[in-house]
Amino acid sequence: MSSMVRFTLDGREASAPEGELLVHAAARHGVFIPTLCHDDKLDPYGGCRMCVVGVEGSPRPLPACATRVAEGMVVSTNSNVPAFRKTLTEMLLAEHLDPNPGGRPNELTDLAADLDAEAPFILPDAKRKEYEDRNRLMGYTPDACILCNRCVRYTQEVMQCSALSLEGRGPHARIVPTWERSWLDTECELCGGCLSVCPTGAIFEKFLEGTEQPERELVKTKTTCTFCGVGCQLDLNVDPETNRIVKVTSEPHYVSNEGNLCVKGRFAFNFVHHPDRLTKPMVRREDGELHETSWEDALQVAADGLNRVKAEHGPQAIGFLASARLTMEENFLIQKLARSVVGTNSIHSCEAT
């Protein structure tokens, strides 16, 4: 366990585990320090300077997202820091030509609103070369990108691949899939993780399923991904006008996936609205055909069938097939039904072998 150190934060005595990042220590003491390039999932980076604070003895402000608390440190977040932050925000806005390409939240414009910052002018060379990718899931708009490198660092540090890189310098700088190929021609697995950590929405979902609503207007319902046994937690984002799922997101604090998803969990959700999908229980009747029915009736028919087989052939004649695509709780209930109600230990999972 790390030892505690004492430091001064805006004139107040504070304490923190030795080595904790200043941005986190300040947050625990109720002092919010805005960040743009920082992401708790990623290694400290210190690229955008939005989080700088004054530290006594340091000739220049230090980034709170990349500076660790030390014994006796004297930190100030309220001297000339707010003015610096506002100027930095205005500089970023001066080349932020497209603040909302795909309807995703934009932390830079949120910050600008908080700081009452506006672009003082638009830089003459602000316009960047457009980027078109032939994949059908994710787009990238260079004019929304603040070059914070979160996406590149995510693919390297979390996905452990090198699908994205920063190319060009100055006004020509952009994030592109490696060698400026399509995402489809790199190691990219289209997990959408780079999209999820992008603070400005420069990387965005291309499809949007016909919704006009920005992401913040969508209604989120937390659920468990049904595609595999990992059981990632995600939010189905529903357009309140059409009541249709239009995208999937996940939050960094969700257990067990910490906001990370794979391509299936993030993008393969539109089967839910497929017209061929069964949405009501069906029972095969005397005529040999399947007929829609109520859940009460379907469960009764299933229970009667199981009871009949058990009475005629004993419980060992019955086996249960569960699935790794169910939640752990559902699998627990199936084995409970098999063992405690029917009296058989014949339970198997399709993905167990």
Site of interaction with ligand SF4 (CB under 6 A): 145-151, 154-155, 159, 161, 163-164, 175, 183, 188-194, 198-200, 202-203, 225, 227-228, 230-232, 257, 261-262, 264-265
* 47 touches ligand FES (CB under 6 A): yes
* Residue with smaller CB distance to ligand FES, 38 or 247: 38
**164 binding partner (options ligand FES, ligand SF4, none; Cβ < 5 to 8 Å by kind):** ligand SF4
Can you tell me the distance from the alpha carbon of 125 to that of 194, in angstroms, rounded to the nearest whole number?
26
**50 binding partner (options ligand SF4, ligand FES, none; Cβ < 5 to 8 Å by kind):** ligand FES
The DSSP element (H or E) to which 307 belongs, if any, is helix 295-313
Name beta bridge partners: 258. none
Closest residue to ligand SF4: CB criterion: 265
Question: Is the bond leading into 256 cis (omega within 30 degrees of zero)?
Answer: yes
**63 binding partner (options ligand FES, ligand SF4, none; Cβ < 5 to 8 Å by kind):** ligand FES
* Residue with smaller CB distance to ligand FES, 49 or 181: 49
Can you tell me the distance from the alpha carbon of 137 to that of 191, in angstroms, rounded to the nearest whole number?
10
**36 binding partner (options ligand SF4, ligand FES, none; Cβ < 5 to 8 Å by kind):** ligand FES
**47 binding partner (options ligand FES, ligand SF4, none; Cβ < 5 to 8 Å by kind):** ligand FES
In the complex, what is the shortest distance from the CB of residue 149 to ligand SF4, in angstroms, rounded to a whole number?
A: 5
In the complex, what is the shortest distance from the CB of residue 7 to ligand SF4, in angstroms, rounded to a whole number?
A: 31
Can you tell me the distance from the alpha carbon of 218 to that of 282, in angstroms, rounded to the nearest whole number?
32
**301 binding partner (options ligand FES, ligand SF4, none; Cβ < 5 to 8 Å by kind):** none
Alpha-carbon dihedral angle through residues 261, 263, 268, 269, given to the nearest 10 degrees: 20
In the complex, what is the shortest distance from the CB of residue 111 to ligand SF4, in angstroms, rounded to a whole number?
A: 13
In the complex, what is the shortest distance from the CB of residue 7 to ligand FES, in angstroms, rounded to a whole number?
A: 18
Distance of CA 119 to CAs 34, 101, 145, 327, Å?
A: 19, 18, 15, 49
Can you tell me the distance from the alpha carbon of 85 to that of 17, in angstroms, rounded to the nearest whole number?
27
Angle 142-143-149 from CA coordinates, rounded to 5°: 50
* 26 touches ligand FES (CB under 6 A): no
CA-based nearest residue to 104, from 211, 184, 29: 211
User: Are 104 and 215 within 8 A, CB to CB?
Assistant: yes
**322 binding partner (options ligand FES, ligand SF4, none; Cβ < 5 to 8 Å by kind):** none
| Alpha carbons within 13 A on the beta-carbon side of 154 | 28
Binding positions for ligand FES, 123-182, rule CB under 6 A: none
Site string for ligand FES, 49-68 (x = CB under 6 A): xxx-----------x-x---
CA-based nearest residue to 177, from 280, 241, 189: 189
- 3-state SS assignment for residue 231: coil
Distance of CA 234 to CAs 194, 220, 237, Å?
A: 16, 9, 9
In the complex, what is the shortest distance from the CB of residue 108 to ligand FES, in angstroms, rounded to a whole number?
A: 11
Name beta bridge partners: 347. 320
> Which of 10, 17, 24, 46 is in the footprint of ligand FES by CB under 6 A?
46
Binding site for ligand FES (CB under 6 A): 35-38, 46-51, 63, 65
